[in-house]
Amino acid sequence: MSTPPPSKRPWSWRSQAFRGLVYQILAILGLVLAVAYLMSNTFANMRARGIQSGFDFFLQPAGFGIGESLIEFDSSQNYLVAYLVGLSNTLRVAVVGLVLATVLGTLVAIGRLTNNTLVRTLCGSFVEITRNIPLLLQLFMWYFAMTELLPAIEAPLRPMAGVFFSKNGLQYPLPVWEPGHWGTLLGLCLGVLAWKAWSVRVHRQFEATGIAKPSFLPGLGWFLVCGVAGWLAGGAPSELDVPEITEISVVGGGSVTPEYLTLLIGLTVYTSGYIAEVVRAGIQSVSFGQHEAAVALGLKRSQALRLIQLPQAMRVIIPPLTSQYLNLIKNSSLAVAVGYPDLVSISSTALNQTGRAIECIALVMLIYLSLSLLTSAAMNVYNRRVRIKDR
């Protein structure tokens, strides 16, 4: 009877796992020592030249204004608040851009797969043009259109009542906040729950019987009905802050500047071209037999795409889609080229005024790294939820 081979001790140098762990620890220690040496050498040279360092400048008055912000800011506030304003402006563009680019890219991808020659050609041309012109040039083009081709503020475009579109940007009515709006918000929250419940019911019925009922329009109807019911229960507040034209400007209401619109449109159009190719490739990765099976079941083209092809394509779509989301967030740093006060623009102003180059650049790098990691983590969570589970 043969004896089994002696088991390797986990802490033995003959163990491959142990050797790998030791090598990784040594590599990390070497990296830490190298970074510590570079930082020590840098700070020593800065002290020798009388250059100040540290993050204490964050609590000093900024001394400059910010033309556009969601947070009230004046020059007497400190640099930390200025950075928060810059971060909010970056998120304001990035979040809206992600949603719009995803919707536009998905529609273009579906258009490229249609049998209509005109739609397929137009969508293909859109993809080729947006992907092959540098983003910076596209931003300049949109900025020129916003500031040169649009009419002056004295004679703005009026697409609808109370809305003005001119070289000064877009002005629109805003509802005046009243306590009754809490009822509207509560109704909208209930509408979201009702929409979700209806979608789950339709999905379960489809799995049980194979009969596909519409879910989007009825769910949207529940959402609107609940919102209107909450609005009525809150006393139907209807006061609006409507913008008005004066001799030199438009006052009142809400507004967005040409710089914001330029950056938002440029990022949306540019990124949607890449997202369209990602979605198209994902849909085409699903075998054609799935489409034939959907036709055999009597499903419409839209139902087959929504219920069969897209769920299977998500495992192919989400990883490269995450990369495009990260690209959009990082490309928002080009806002400085069109004068939009984003995080990079405000950090550049702080750097010029304080001379703390390392601190300002390091903080911007840390913020963008955090945003990218959070985006990747959220997409990974979503990927785990929608992936097809093998049985």
CATH of the domain at 166: 1.10.3720.10
Residue 342 lies in a domain: yes
pLDDT (0 to 100) of residue 26: 93
Tens digit of pLDDT for each residue in 242-300?
Answer: 888 777 777 777 888 899 999 999 999 999 999 999 999 988 888 888 777 877 777 77
What's the angle, vertex CA 38, arms to CA 35 and CA 44, rounded to 5? 135
36 inside domain: no
Q: What is the extent of the structural domain holding 294?
A: 81-174+252-386
273 and 325 in a single domain? The answer is yes
Q: How confident is the model at residue 389 (pLDDT cuts 50, 70, 90)?
A: low
Contacts of 180 (CB under 8 A, 6+ apart): 231, 234, 235, 236, 237
Looking at the predicted structure, is the pLDDT value of residue 391 above 60?
no
Co-location of 264 and 148 in the same domain: yes
Q: Considering the entire predicted model, what is its pTM?
A: 0.81
In a domain, 246, yes or no: no
Q: Do 329 and 306 fall within a single domain?
A: yes
What is the tens place of the pLDDT at every residue in 122-156? 999 999 999 999 999 999 999 998 888 888 887 88
14 lies in some domain? no
* Same-domain pairing of 208 and 334: no
Structure tokens of 57? Answer: 């400048």
Same domain, 206 and 280: no
Residue 287 lies in a domain: yes
Do 118 and 208 sit in the same domain of this protein?
A: no
Q: 249 Cβ partners below 8 Å, 6+ apart?
A: 153, 168
pLDDT at 241 over 90: no
- Same domain, yes or no: 308 and 381: yes
pLDDT at 10: 64
Q: How many C-beta neighbours within 10 Å does residue 185 have?
A: 13
Residues 203, 187 within the same domain: yes
Look at the chain and report how many structural domains it folds into.
2
How does the average pLDDT of the chain come out, rounded?
A: 85
Q: Is residue 190 part of a domain?
A: yes
Q: Which of 238, 263, 290 is a domain's end point?
A: 238
pLDDT at 21 over 60: yes
Report the pLDDT value the prediction gives residue 267, as an integer from 0 to 100. 95
Q: Please list, in sequence order, all residues whose beta carbon lies within 8 angstroms of the beta carbon of residue 104, skipping any fewer than 6 positions away.
A: 268, 269, 272, 275, 276
- Structural domain ending residue among the three candidates 238, 264, 291: 238
Same domain, 222 and 308: no
The answer to whether residues 278 and 356 belong to one domain is yes
CA 13 to chain centre: 48
Over residues 350-359, the mean pLDDT reads 84
What is the percent of the chain with per-residue pLDDT over 70, rounded to a whole number? 94
- 294 falls within a domain: yes
Residue 332: predicted pLDDT: 92
Shared domain check, 220 and 154: no
Paired with 170 in beta bridges are 165, 256
Give 366's pLDDT tier (boundaries 50, 70, 90). Answer: very high
Which long-range contacts does 91-98 make (Cβ < 8 Å, 24+ apart)? 92/260, 93/260, 93/263, 93/264, 93/267, 93/332, 93/335, 93/340, 93/342, 94/267, 94/328, 94/329, 94/332, 94/371, 96/264, 97/264, 97/267, 97/268, 97/271, 97/328, 97/332, 98/325, 98/328, 98/329
Model confidence band, residue 5 (pLDDT cutoffs 50, 70, 90):
low
Domain edge (last residue) among 192, 215, 238: 238
Same domain, 295 and 160: yes
Report yes or no: 263 and 335 within 8 Å, Cβ to Cβ. yes
Q: Does some domain include residue 382?
A: yes
